[in-house]
Amino acid sequence: MDQQQRYAIEWECTRLINHYANLNDAARWAEVAALYAEDGVMTRPTAPDEPIVGRPAILAAFDARPPRTTRHVTANIVVTVHDADHATATSAMLLYTAPDKPPLVGGFEDRLVRVEGEGWRFAERRGTLSF
């Protein structure tokens, strides 16, 4: 793999992480769930010991949320490319929830995989809270 290919993968994975935050804030749950591989795993920062496995379960978990207004700010994204179809990433996250909840600071550790016909997806998205 040459440097241009590595940069392209890094960009696509960074875009995936940012797109996830935007779709999450827009409450577009079906589109959020579709960003996971079919057997993907999601672990919320607020429930790090309760993994949710598979797109249908991930969608159901988002659908079960009460309506809320949020803004996720994602930063410090670092993607490590392992090969043409596998990467990992870390990122920091700041979550604002309106109207009166204090901001949450945390991050994500991601395992990313290229899915035939779909592009890059989350194989696993593990959230953590710092404070």
pLDDT score of 46:
86
Q: Are 22 and 108 in contact (CB under 8 A)?
A: no
Helices (H), the chain: 3-25, 29-33, 55-63
What is the Cα–Cα distance from 28 to 15, expressed in whole angstroms? 17
**Residue 29: CATH number of its domain:** 3.10.450.50
Task: Spell out the per-residue pLDDT of the chain, length 131, in tens.
Answer: 999 999 999 999 999 999 999 999 999 999 999 999 999 999 998 898 999 999 999 999 999 999 999 999 999 999 999 999 999 999 999 999 998 899 999 999 999 999 999 999 999 999 999 99
pTM score of the predicted model: 0.95
How many separate domains does the chain show? 1
Its domain, for residue 63, covers: 3-129
